[in-house]
Structure 1
Amino acid sequence: MVAQRCGTRSAWTPGIDTSDVKWSRVDKRGASVLLSPEEVRKDLVAARSRTMLEILARHMIVYRPGSTTEKSMLLKMVEFLEAATTAHEAIAGLRQRARFHQRAKDVGLATLDPSNLLKSLGGMVKSPLNEHGDIAFRMNLIRYITSAPTETNVMAIHRAYLAEFEQLA
């Protein structure tokens, strides 16, 4: 890969020089594509990012994996689950919650209190459990056996809910 000097800047960048006149249309088109969501545009205008390279750099700073934006989103998605009305919605929500929980652990987030996690999990599957009394009975039995709400027990209850609803569907 050939590295070129980028204008009067002291940084070395690989590839082509986007400040060159012949690449200005490409730079403007790329910048307009990256500015498409309105909240992203507001952030980039506030940061005074004009070129495509500056916009990409700002994206990598703000929206990189493990950033504060992703961490706050993960905490919200793990704690506040949408209530499911059918078994199929419960399966989709439980699978999504498992992915978010695993991602939160991968990023290194301290997860919420297990009693809060258990409460949000119960609120999510409340409607499908009311429709199926046999599943509600078995799940209450599992909750009674695993009385101390630890993260391991909450994940075991999560897997049990998922297995019951998958068997039902």
Structure 2
Amino acid sequence: MNRSLRASDTLRPKPSASAAPSSAPGGPPRKPKDTRRPSPHGGRVGVVDRALAAQQLERDVHGTLPHFLMAPHLLSGTDLVGVLAGEVARDIAPALKLVVARPPLALPGFTLSAVWHPRLTDDPAHAWLREQLAEAAAEQQASRRASPPARTAR
């Protein structure tokens, strides 16, 4: 990150696997390599690939996406599996008829941060926006602690 920018960590989501019902637990067995994944840089290797490689497995990537919020929409109606932030997966799954489960691999979490230019640090409107983001993130973290965990795939 550019050292002249300011940042504040807002959320630390945990990964969840999302799948259409036909590829979900209880449906036909699926190989762990059949996935779609968002990649903001168009890269072909990410945390899931590294976790699979540690077990001498790999996946067949069926597409890359510019933003992770597109992934659930592309998974819907397919027999593919994707890895998303748990909160996103749980919130959007019912509308898209996706199943959410813990990934069968140990995957690291990640941090979402608000980033801004220093000239905006003392700007009242920007300070208000950062405060709203921090409050929304705190509410999200509290609701995550209160919600039941995603089920484990078998």
Q: Same fold (TM over 0.5)?
A: no
Bigger helix fraction = 1
Structure of higher RCO (CA pairs closer than 8 Å, 6+ residues apart): 2
> TM class, shorter-chain normalised?
under 0.3
**TM-score for the superposition, normalised by structure 2:** 0.24
Q: Highest CA radius of gyration, 1 or 2?
A: 1
